[in-house]
Amino acid sequence: MMNAQNRSAGRIGSLTQLQWLAVALVVVTGVLHVYAGIVEGRIPVALAGVGYAGTLVLFFFDYRRRLLYLTGIPYTAVQFPLWIVAK
């Protein structure tokens, strides 16, 4: 069990600056989604924010990062036009 913890901590410490920037942007985006979903009473928007948090957990556990990149980038890119249309 201790080896798994050490490996996980080692991976987190080895993140690049670009990865840390992405983490910060995901945190901001997730918090904004949860806040907007609660304030506007739109449950799907709040759940999208929770999804961002879940993705961060998977990312920090190094669970299929390549798949997270391949699905997360298009998912986030789709959020922008949907937000513009919804407003």
Largest CA distance in the chain: 49
Residue 4: CB partners within 8 Å, gap ≥ 6?
none
Q: What is the pLDDT of residues 1-54, one digit of tens each?
A: 445 554 544 466 688 899 899 899 999 999 999 999 999 998 988 998 999 999
Tokens standing for 20?
């840390």
Tokens standing for 8?
């996980």
- Say if residues 79 and 87 touch (Cβ distance below 8 Å): no
pLDDT score, position 4 = 52
Q: What is the pLDDT of residues 65-87, one digit of tens each?
A: 889 889 888 888 888 888 788 76
pLDDT score, position 85 = 87
